Amino acid sequence: MLEYSTPTQEAALVVEHVVKRFNVAADPWWRRWAGSHKATSNHAANGQSANGHDTPPRLKARRGKELVTAVSDVSFSVYRREIFGVLGPNGSGKSTLIRLLSTLLLPDEGAITVFGLDVERDEMAVKRLINRVSVEAAFFKKLSPKENLLYGARLYGVSGKEADRKAREILGRLGLRESSYTSPMEDMSRGMQQKVAIARAFLTQPVLLLLDEPTTGLDPRSKLEVQAFVNELRDTHDATIVITTHDMNEADALCDRIAILDDGRIAALDTPEGLKRRIRRNGHEPTLEEVFMALTGKELVEKDDVTDFEPEKVLS
């Protein structure tokens, strides 16, 4: 891992006791009754839930819906010029958390600030400081990478000439062929489209870059090119980066600190080495994957069940 300096330990991002809930389609009443009637009858007299704990206060859901907590009382800080990783199994709330940080969703409880700006009160100012790469990047598929990138750049006030120069440079660094720059996006592979999505985020040189599984679908060489570019963006452009990934080698190589989410809560937060020390036994040097499975009790998967703008899939 590269050495980096945070001389003032300035907080670029502060997340304080954030909670996010969704109304999702509930099971039919008879299915819920069949599974819970026996346990409920045993514990109701004692004011306890079926798992033996005090019954929590009920939060009202819309009719025919069930209220699900996707992010539950999450707090952490990310320092300026830090690469901060968020790991977690399917349905752990990673993508929901990234949407909250990028102002696509608003927290039900708690607060999020980006360089002192509140994501709710100062939404437009925050948007000018951040950019986001999603595992499911949206494009105008009939248009070329050039047309998509120039359109996105103009929304951030970057001139067409400057955007074209930067786009060609970034895509060249990411290994995209010059001939692909003016071809329709629909003719490109998913991995190539992902490179264009990464270039689109880098174009505006954000001070806070949110990467939601940015290398999913890329071949090993392309992954290394993206990882090198992420480090360069931090080192030469003073960017702070938050990344979610299922690639444990990527997280180990890139991240200065890592938060492991499980069921919407932070199960652990430390440096990669600090996390490994937690389960090191008898001289065995654990991998980050072994740490992940020890802390969550769940195996890794290749891709999250969570996709953009589908909150009903937040927890499986």
Each residue of 230-289: pLDDT tens digit?
Answer: 888 888 878 899 999 888 889 999 999 999 999 999 999 999 999 998 887 777 888 898
In terms of Cβ atoms closer than 10 Å to its own Cβ (0-12, 13-18, 19+), residue 122 is middle
What's the pTM value of the predicted model, to 2 decimals?
Answer: 0.75
| Residue entry with tokens 């070329």 | 144
Q: What percent of the chain has pLDDT over 90?
A: 30
Residue 272, pLDDT score: 93
- What is the rounded average pLDDT of the residues 100-115? 95
Structure tokens belonging to residue 39: 């346990």
| Per-residue H/E/C for 93-127 | CHHHHHHHHCCCCCCCEEEEEECCEECCCCHHHHH
| Winning range, highest mean pLDDT, from 2-6, 12-16, 59-63, 131-135 | 12-16
Q: Which residue has the higher pLDDT, 225 or 7?
A: 225
Widest Cα–Cα separation across the chain? 72
On whether the CB atoms of residues 60 and 232 are closer than 8 A, the answer is: no
Cβ partners under 8 Å of residue 292, min gap 6: 87, 248, 260, 300
For domain 11-26+61-313, the CATH class is alpha beta
pLDDT at 79 over 90: yes
User: How confident is the model over 51-57, as a mean pLDDT?
Assistant: 51
Strands 240-244 and 208-212: parallel
pLDDT band per the 50, 70, 90 thresholds, residue 27: low
For residue 121, what pLDDT is reported?
Answer: 94
Given a cut of 90, is residue 294 above it in pLDDT?
no
12 pLDDT above the threshold of 60: yes
Using alpha carbons only, give the angle 82, 83, 86 rounded to the nearest 5 degrees: 125
Range in 103-107, 135-139, 265-269, 296-300 with the lowest mean pLDDT: 296-300
pLDDT (0 to 100) of residue 158: 78
Strands, sheet with 208-212, edge to edge from the N-terminal-most edge strand = 130-133, 208-212, 240-244, 83-87, 257-262, 265-270
Give me the residue label for tokens 């595992």.
135
Residue 287's φ and ψ, nearest 5 degrees, are -85, 165
Task: Note whether 171 and 185 are within 8 A (CB).
Answer: no
41 or 288, higher pLDDT: 288
Residue 132: CB atoms within 10 Å: 22
pLDDT of 303 higher than 50 = no
Residue 286 backbone phi and psi in degrees, to 5: -75, 155
DSSP per residue over 249-284, as a string? HHHHHH-SEEEEEETTEEEEEE-HHHHHHTT-BTTB
Tell me the per-residue pLDDT of 195-227, one tens digit each, with 9 for 90 and over.
Answer: 888 888 878 778 999 998 888 777 888 888 888
Question: Is-contact 71 244, C-beta < 8 A?
Answer: no
The answer for residues whose C-beta is within 8 angstroms of residue 148's C-beta and 6 or more apart is 139, 140, 185, 196, 200
Residue 314 is predicted with a pLDDT of: 36
The pLDDT, as a whole number, for residue 1 is: 40
pLDDT of residue 240: 94
pLDDT in tens, 82-102: 999 999 988 889 989 999 999
pLDDT digits 0-9 by tens, 129-175: 998 887 666 788 888 888 888 887 887 777 888 888 888 888 887 77
Domain edges within the chain: 11-26+61-313, 27-60
Per-residue pLDDT, averaged over 167-184, amounts to 82
**170 exposed, middle or buried (CB, 10 Å; 0-12, 13-18, 19+)?**
buried
Give the containing element (helix H, strand E) for 89.
none
- Three-class secondary structure of residue 243 per DSSP: strand
What is the predicted pLDDT for the residue at 179? 81
Whether the Cβ atoms of residue 61 and residue 285 lie closer than 8 Å to each other: no
- Name the residue among 280, 222, 231 with its Cα closest to residue 253: 231
- As a whole number, the mean pLDDT across the chain is 79
Q: How confident is residue 306, by pLDDT bands cut at 50, 70 and 90?
A: very low
pLDDT of residue 305: 39
* Percentage, residues of the chain above pLDDT 70: 78
Output 53 or 290, whichever has higher pLDDT: 290
Give me the DSSP letters along 24-71.
Answer: EEPPPHHHHHHHHHHHHHHHGGGTB-TTSSBPPPPPP--TTEEEEEEE
